[in-house]
């Protein structure tokens, strides 16, 4: 436990970049896309605020808990390592199975799609055409989406300092964008009557609607664990890992609450709930600044999503690298580039599969009127909620198994803090089982397929790594 890597990876990332990875991979498309989903499902802004605060507290409770486990095992792979050491190789494999095929790569595909949609919005502004007009054809947009994934794959193959430095710069820009969203209503408006004019249209509270809203906001907060998979490349992990988790989540909570307050000061909730062909931030920008606001909003979304894309391509391949080392995935995935000291094969594979999901999504009809973006994120979140909650539960396993192990960081409020974390994920999963049974059935079936693959193909008589 708590030993430095003896592989070709290098500890090149300092505390600021570690924090930027957490903030930059969490803040992507969710804060711009999901507020309209939340507005549809809960009756008024009070409940909107409760949902965003509750999911932020959930992430903070998880961060306080998982930091102790990450310091105990500061290795590449994150949740894969925690589950493998806590519950065995099958648990670790199943996390890797779901994370690679669905969670990480579907997230990358969804983010890249939103990036190009925002770029298309910018082109409309420059050409001064209606917001519904097409400058680029459907397939031209898909080709550009794949191209963006390809460029960021190349950047991250070139070196962890390249990817980390780019992440730090983009994170500064996106934090500045959200601060601007927070401040603009107070600088440009003094009359808030428009924001409260729809109080008579408030709907009755429904538990199912609350669960759906929580699932949407959970996507917006997803990624707060992303310092763990690259722990093997973070300097002084005993100090910098807890700092990255806790400071990163705290920054995100503040920015998300501020942005949602700003949205609701400008856009009545009933109108926000009805937004379909545009993002909340685009409508927000248009109401405040007209066409200039639309341009700035599209630019903010592009920058934010670009940073989340880069962060996912920086973090995600470290899972495949760790699984390759353990022979739970093809051994070639653990290869480290002799010059760049990155898991180049693993990075390339994540980029390729994400690109294929973009193409597949363009060819597949999505039933029920749900957007492909929302479908991908719902599938991703079902797997993520289940396995990430299981990963956090390993704190209890390691406290019992290694009571005397050195713990430079200990979870404050243990065992209450990790126990409190479990309450909200249990509610969200229960709500999905009640109201999104198709997604749950497909997600569960995919996990079961992973069990079959493990016993037929991936199982090896190799003792667990570390311990």
CATH of the domain at 166: 1.20.1740.10
**Average pLDDT of the segment spanning 414-442:** 79
Total tally of structural domains belonging to the chain: 1
User: Within a domain: residue 418?
Assistant: yes
Q: Tell me what the pLDDT averaged over the chain comes to.
A: 82
User: Within a domain: residue 182?
Assistant: yes
Q: Name residues whose C-beta falls within 8 Å of residue 126's C-beta, 6 or more positions apart in sequence.
A: none
Judged by average pLDDT, the poorest of 66-80, 300-314, 412-426 is 300-314
Q: Is the pLDDT of residue 64 over 70?
A: yes
Confidence of residue 1 (pLDDT cuts 50, 70, 90): low
User: Within a domain: residue 435?
Assistant: no
Question: Read out DSSP for 385-396?
Answer: HHHHHHHHTHHH
pLDDT of residue 6: 46
With vertex at residue 227, the alpha carbon angle to CA 225 and CA 228, rounded to the nearest 5 degrees, is: 75
User: Within a domain: residue 7?
Assistant: no
pLDDT of residue 256: 93
Place of tokens 């003094």: 190
User: Within a domain: residue 395?
Assistant: yes
With vertex at residue 172, the alpha carbon angle to CA 168 and CA 176, rounded to the nearest 5 degrees, is: 165
User: Within a domain: residue 461?
Assistant: no
pLDDT of residue 71: 92
225 φ/ψ angles, rounded to the nearest 5 degrees? -85, 0
* Residues above pLDDT 70, as percent of the chain: 84
Q: Is the pLDDT of residue 332 over 70?
A: yes
pLDDT of residue 467: 40
Could you count the other beta carbons within 10 Å of the beta carbon of residue 11? 17
More confident residue, 193 or 133: 133
Q: Is the pLDDT of residue 309 over 80?
A: yes
User: Within a domain: residue 445?
Assistant: no
List the domain range (segments joined by +) for residue 422: 15-429
**Average pLDDT of the segment spanning 235-244:** 91
More confident residue, 67 or 197: 67
User: Within a domain: residue 444?
Assistant: no
């Amino acid at each position: 436990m708590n030993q430095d890597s003896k592989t070709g990876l290098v500890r090149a990332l300092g505390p600021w970049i570690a924090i930027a990875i957490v903030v930059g991979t969490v803040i992507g498309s969710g804060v711009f896309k999901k507020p309209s989903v939340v507005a549809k499902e809960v009756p008024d802004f009070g409940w909107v605020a409760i949902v965003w605060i509750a999911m932020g507290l959930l992430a903070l409770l998880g961060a306080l808990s998982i930091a102790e486990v990450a310091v105990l095992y500061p290795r590449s792979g994150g949740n894969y390592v925690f589950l493998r050491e806590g519950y065995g190789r099958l648990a670790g494999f199943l996390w890797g199975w779901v994370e690679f095929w669905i969670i990480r790569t579907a997230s990358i595909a969804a983010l890249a799609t939103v990036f190009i949609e925002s770029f298309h919005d910018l082109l409309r502004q420059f050409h001064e055409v209606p917001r519904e007009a097409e400058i680029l054809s459907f397939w031209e947009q898909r080709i550009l989406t794949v191209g963006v994934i390809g460029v960021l794959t190349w950047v991250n193959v070139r070196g962890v300092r390249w990817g980390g430095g780019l992440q730090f710069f983009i994170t500064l820009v996106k934090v500045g964008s959200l601060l601007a969203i927070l401040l603009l209503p107070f600088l440009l408006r003094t009359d808030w009557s428009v924001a409260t004019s729809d109080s008579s249209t408030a709907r009755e509270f429904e538990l199912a609607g609350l669960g759906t809203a929580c699932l949407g906001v959970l996507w917006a907060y997803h990624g707060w664990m992303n310092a763990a998979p690259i722990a093997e490349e973070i300097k002084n992990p005993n100090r910098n890992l807890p700092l990255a988790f806790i400071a990163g989540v705290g920054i995100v909570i503040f920015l998300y609450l501020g942005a949602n307050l700003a949205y609701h000061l400008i856009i009545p909730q009933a109108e926000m709930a009805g937004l379909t062909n545009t993002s909340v931030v685009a409508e927000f920008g248009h109401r405040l600044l007209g066409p200039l606001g639309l341009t700035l909003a599209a630019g903010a979304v592009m920058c934010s999503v670009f940073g989340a894309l880069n962060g996912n391509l920086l973090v995600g391949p470290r899972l495949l690298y760790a699984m390759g080392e353990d022979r739970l995935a093809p051994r070639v995935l653990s290869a480290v580039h002799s010059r760049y000291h990155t898991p180049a094969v693993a990075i390339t594979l994540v980029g390729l599969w994400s690109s294929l999901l973009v193409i597949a999504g363009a060819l597949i009809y999505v039933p029920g009127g749900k957007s492909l973006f929302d479908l991908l994120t719902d599938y991703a979140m079902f797997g993520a909620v289940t396995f990430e909650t299981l990963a956090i539960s390993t704190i209890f396993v390691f406290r019992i198994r290694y009571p005397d192990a050195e713990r430079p960081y200990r979870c404050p409020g243990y065992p209450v803090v990790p126990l409190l974390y479990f309450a909200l994920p249990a509610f969200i999963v229960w709500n999905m089982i009640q109201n999104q049974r198709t997604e749950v059935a497909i997600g569960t079936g995919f996990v079961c397929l992973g069990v079959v693959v493990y016993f037929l193909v991936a199982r090896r008589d190799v003792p667990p790594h570390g311990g």
